[in-house]
Amino acid sequence: MSKTIRSILSLLLALIIIFPILYCFSASLFARTDFSTSPARFLPTTVTFSNYARAFKASNLARFLVNSLICATVGTFLRMSISLFSAYSLTMFHYKGRYALFIIIIATMLLPGDALLIQNYVTIQRLGLTDTYLGLISTSLLAPTSIFILRQFFLTVSKEYREAAYLEGCSDTRFMVTLLIPMSQSLIVALTVQSFIQIFNDYLWPLLVTNSEMMRTVQVGITMLGFSESFDYGPQFAAMATLMCPMLILFIVFRKKIYEGVSTRFSGR
Amino acid sequence: MKGKRIRKATPYLYLVPALLLAFLFCYRPFFLTILDSLYNVSLNGVRLKFVGLSNYRRLFASESFHDSWNNTLRFTAIFAPVNLVITFSLALLCNTNTKASRLSHTLIILPMAVAMSSAVLILKTIFDPNVGVLNVILNKDIQWFSTARDAMSMLVVVGLWLDIGFDFLLFSASLRNIPKDLEEEASLEGVSIWERLRYLEIPLSAPILVFVLSNNIKDAMLMVSPVMILTEGGPYRSTQTLVYQMYLEGFKGGNIALGSAIATIVFLATFLFLLILLAFQKRRVYFQ
Amino acid sequence: MALGLFAQGKKENDTQGITTITWWHSNSGLLQEATDAMVGRFNETIGKEQGIKVQAVYQGKASDVLTKIKAIDQGGNNSSLPDLVQLDAQAILDIRDNPVLIDAETLAKENNYDLSQIVESARLSQTYKGKMIGMPFNSSTILLYYNKTAFDQAGIKEAPKTLDELATDSQRLLLKDDKGTILRYGFSGVPTTYELCAWLGQQNGLSLICDMNNGHDGIPQKMLFDSNGTMDNFLTKWKQLYATGALDTATSGISASFASGKTVMMVASTSQLTTTLEMIGDRFELGVANLPAVDDKATGGVNIGGGALYTLDNASNHSKETWQFVQFAVSAEEQLAWHIATGYFPVNSGTYELDAFKQHVQDNPLFGIAIKQMRESNPQLQGIWVPSSYQIYYAFQSGILKMLTENKDVHETTLSLAKEIDGYLTDYLNMQATK
């Protein structure tokens, strides 16, 4: 197959693949009647932004967003801190059972979280943490993959650095903050972004753990916006389009870095 | 001296959060799930009576479980290979250095930017037989939500869309890592496309192929959220998956014992499949 | 870093002499307007007189409201409960033995309220072990909806009265094109639990579907439809309907299908009447009729479904004031207003005597048919109170579909349905803590 044909074909397929994204933006501008016409429409009859206004004013969408942002930010901070300190402990010290403890942490990757939902829910309920931010982020705080990757990197850092800093009375935290983190910054940035996205996009756990409308996260809230009158899908699409924008922009702007990051994972290991 | 003892304990202390979390949210629930599956459990989670394998016997005799099991296996059997073939072929197709293919590379990973619930909601509208544009495009009147086969196909397509960004990304990066000299050699020697695939691209991408395949198998066996949003198991339980039934019985029905039994079965089945895959992978010899 | 944040429905504090009553409901859209109007009327009249203010809060679908109540209950934080809550049949098993429930019968006695003014079938629909636990509020039954224009065109004068007639009519209304693709079905739907309650319960005058008086006297342990022949009878008729080729075994989108003319008949709740009229627009003339009886001996009619109001004990001691509102909500005049606005039928027998009501029924004959059907039904015909309603609903659906598409034997299907559902009942019994 010639290169030109391949290129054209790949572009065609790419456009088909992103069609739902385009449709979302288009549908966010639909008037209510645009949804009930037969045959179904691709483009709005007239462009109306009222859906966006309604989505934010007539529902708790803003609150949902705030909840998601709080969970993602605080959760990521705690998660990265725990991962950093864990990897630090596993590499910068020598003690009995160091490797065994590492395996214990890593082995959790074999246990799929979804199969543990019932028990984790009971745990959170017994602790009284349903409908709380802590309850929402609790299952996202352990990141065995991050610990694995950070440990991998820290192992390459010469022990002498730490010995020297230690002799000068440098505390562990200071050492990490002033030395280790800057050294591994691209790695940490990648892990932080990935963690933020993962917690922000979580659906099933937040659904089960929150009952109160005020504590809903945006991924769950978007399925229950409350515009249940027939064919009133506009505000939902407007909300989804808004939600998508930052991520889409990120992916388009940083596409090179994303591909590179994945490539290095292959050669780096 | 106190200082020295503190210093000795410090590394352990740093690990405490991670270990505590691992215990609280991974190991403990895992054992409790298996334990609960062997008891009658009250609505409040209190273990009432040891019943051995009775819950499992109940499941295997239940029509609903048969449906879940068959549906999940069918879905996995269709989804995993289809996803692999489509995404890998796409990556191969786009593996040129033209402007158009570079644009494709940017576009095809965009589905990753859309969160699962949004993606499923958008696709739900597109598939709707009354207001959706898909039937218009296909010029047919397929009842996507009312016919078992069509509902399952819809689920496969949704699953594909959700994973295509990530899988394509991995495959593309892997293909790019193929040494240029090998590629040139292949084109110089006038090797056919199939031979190229067989001796160059596939072997060199084998680790990533296995990784994506095992990931997809795991995701397919655990499929639940799209079912929840799209079909709620319908029509006629034809899209009810194992984890969805676990949710129905365990959460909605409050039957913790039965839900735990399903969870244990899911875990065992997934583990088994992955072991088989691993054994299969070890047997093949690939050169690097 | 204690990020605790409990935020479940704000409760206003009692201000000088005014008792505030919180009411959680699941009425959205038009229903919410009617709800707010009723609450407004109360607050302006009796509320003002007695220093009571009712605060109505929409808390989502009925199942969402139940989930919230359960969550509070499990957390042990009873003061967060509302004073009054509107729940539907799904909630019965969770609420009826719950210590937080203050049953309607007790409150009626304390306040000298005569419960006999409530329509008997509605009263019985909320009766547990002989006592009324809640006050029926938004009550509905099932109706047969049909496309009268299509009927006229096909020369069918009356809506089918039995399942046999349903089969013959459907066959006449079936439309195919030259290639044999079906353009229009006669009837759309797969029997749901709610519909089966009527179709099974109405047989032989009155039949039980499960033991413990359909679950109204305790936790049901066994289904009875297999041993009393009602399911066999029904399935035989249903198979006949399927054999005509005019039956569309759809489980969703039926209303849309009906409104667009793709199917001529469907069964649905009376509460859908207004929405359906809106969806149809002026495409065709809508007709409604009684639910077709299974056969000539099935004279029981239909049962009542819908939601009720339950008073909860949230340690605020406001049950007397709450009851004042409940009385108001089910008074003859308020039930008339509620009916006109929503289509739910009045639970107060006094409403039926009002001239305004009689006039309304005359002007809106479609609404009158549902009421007539209800009054002709045997009030003892009640719905079933069972656990795992979701799973049971699916069990019926799957079982019946399998029978139709794989041409299974009727009695075999009945037995396997009973076995499967009995399994769910046993599961529930196993979950009860032994005392």
Q: Is C28 exposed, middle or buried (0-12, 13-18, 19+ CB in 10 A)?
A: middle
Q: What percent of chain B has pLDDT over 70?
A: 95
Q: In this structure, is residue B236 part of a structural domain?
A: yes
- Residue B4 — pLDDT band, cuts 50, 70, 90? low
For residue B251, give the amino acid letter. Answer: F
For the stretch B57-105, pLDDT in tens is: 999 999 899 999 999 999 999 999 999 999 999 998 898 888 888 899 9
CB B29 within 8 A of CB A123: yes
- Residue C5 — pLDDT band, cuts 50, 70, 90? very low
Report whether pLDDT(A269) > 70. no
Q: What are phi and psi of A41, to 5 degrees?
A: -95, 155
For chain A, say whether B211 makes contact (Cβ under 8 Å).
no
Domains C19-138+306-353 and C142-302+382-430 share a fold: yes
Structure-token pair, residue C57: 């809060």
CATH of domain C19-138+306-353: 3.40.190.10
Q: Which fold has domain A60-224?
A: MetI-like fold (1.10.3720)
For chain C, say whether A130 makes contact (Cβ under 8 Å).
yes
- Interface residue ranges in chain B relative to chain C, Cβ cutoff 8 Å: 40-44, 46, 48-49, 51, 58, 61-64, 67, 129-130, 143, 145-146, 233-237, 240, 248-249, 252-255, 257-258
For chain A, say whether C281 makes contact (Cβ under 8 Å).
no
- pLDDT given at position B286: 45
Q: If you compute the radius of gyration of chain C from its CA atoms, what whole number of angstroms results? A: 23
Distance separating alpha carbons of residues C94 and C62, to the nearest angstrom: 13
Q: Is C171 exposed, middle or buried (0-12, 13-18, 19+ CB in 10 A)?
A: middle
Structure-derived torsion over alpha carbons of residues B44, B47, B48, B53, reported in degrees to the nearest 10: 120
- Residue C3 — pLDDT band, cuts 50, 70, 90? very low
Q: In this structure, is residue B110 part of a structural domain?
A: yes
What domain range is B79 assigned to? 64-283
DSSP notation for A188-251: HHHHHHHHHHHHHH--HHHHHH--SGGG--HHHHGGG-S--STT--HHHHHHHHHHHHHHHHHH
B/e letters for C103-137, b = 16+ CB within 10 Å, e = fewer, are bbbbbbeeeebeeeebbebbbbbbbbeeebbbbbb
* More confident of the two residues C407 and A212: C407
Distance separating alpha carbons of residues C291 and C269, to the nearest angstrom: 10
Report whether pLDDT(B211) > 50. yes
For the stretch C12-25, pLDDT in tens is: 445 567 889 999 99
Residues of A in contact with B250 (CB under 8 A): 117-118
Report whether pLDDT(C363) > 60. yes
Portions of chain A given CATH number 1.10.3720.10: 60-224
CA C275 from chain centre, in angstroms, equals: 16
CATH of domain C142-302+382-430: 3.40.190.10
Structure-token pair, residue C133: 């636990």
Structure-token pair, residue C194: 């709610």
- pLDDT given at position A139: 93
Whole-model pTM: value is 0.86
Structure-token pair, residue C156: 């069918």
C71 to chain B: nearest residue by CA? B44
**CA distances, C324 to each of A25, B283, C111, C112, C307 (Å):** 51, 78, 9, 11, 19
Q: How many domains does chain B have?
A: 1
For the stretch C313-356, pLDDT in tens is: 988 888 899 999 999 999 999 999 998 888 888 999 999 999 99
Within 10 angstroms of residue C30's Cβ, the number of other Cβ atoms is 15
Which ranges in C117-244 belong to alpha helices (H)? 120-124, 148-154, 163-173, 193-201, 211-215, 230-243
- pLDDT given at position B177: 81
Q: Is A256 exposed, middle or buried (0-12, 13-18, 19+ CB in 10 A)?
A: exposed
Q: Cβ separation of C431 and B237 shorter than 8 Å?
A: no
Helix (H, G, I), strand (E, B) or coil at C184: strand
Report whether pLDDT(B183) > 80. no
Q: Could you identify the residue written with the tokens 């909806």?
A: C145
- Chains in touch with B (≥3 Cβ pairs < 8 A): A, C
Q: What is the mean pLDDT of residues C271-289?
A: 87
Tell me whether strands C135-140 and C175-176 are parallel, antiparallel or unpaired. unpaired
User: Among A29-38, A67-76, C280-289, which stretch is predicted with the lowest mean pLDDT?
Assistant: A29-38
Distance separating alpha carbons of residues C187 and C171, to the nearest angstrom: 9
- pLDDT given at position B7: 67
B233 to chain C: nearest residue by CA? C394
Distance separating alpha carbons of residues B62 and B34, to the nearest angstrom: 20
Distance separating alpha carbons of residues C407 and B181, to the nearest angstrom: 64
Q: In this structure, is residue B204 part of a structural domain?
A: yes
Q: Cβ separation of A116 and B29 shorter than 8 Å?
A: yes
- Annotated domain spans of chain C: 19-138+306-353, 142-302+382-430
- pLDDT given at position A183: 84
Residues of C in contact with A229 (CB under 8 A): 29
Question: In this predicted complex, what is the ipTM?
Answer: 0.87
Name the minimum distance, in Å, from the CA of B147 to any CA of chain C.
Answer: 8
Q: What is the mean pLDDT of residues A169-193?
A: 83
Report whether pLDDT(A249) > 90. yes
Tell me, what CATH number does B95's domain have?
A: 1.10.3720.10
User: CB within 8 A of C353, min separation 6: which ones?
Assistant: C332
Q: In this structure, is residue B77 part of a structural domain?
A: yes
* End-to-end alpha carbon distance in chain C: 41
- pLDDT given at position A48: 81
Nearest-by-Cβ selection for B21 from A36, A141, A208: A141
Q: Cβ separation of A230 and C279 shorter than 8 Å?
A: yes
Distance separating alpha carbons of residues B124 and B162, to the nearest angstrom: 13
Q: Cβ separation of B25 and A139 shorter than 8 Å?
A: yes
Q: Cβ separation of A214 and C7 shorter than 8 Å?
A: yes
Paired residues of C263 in beta bridges: C185
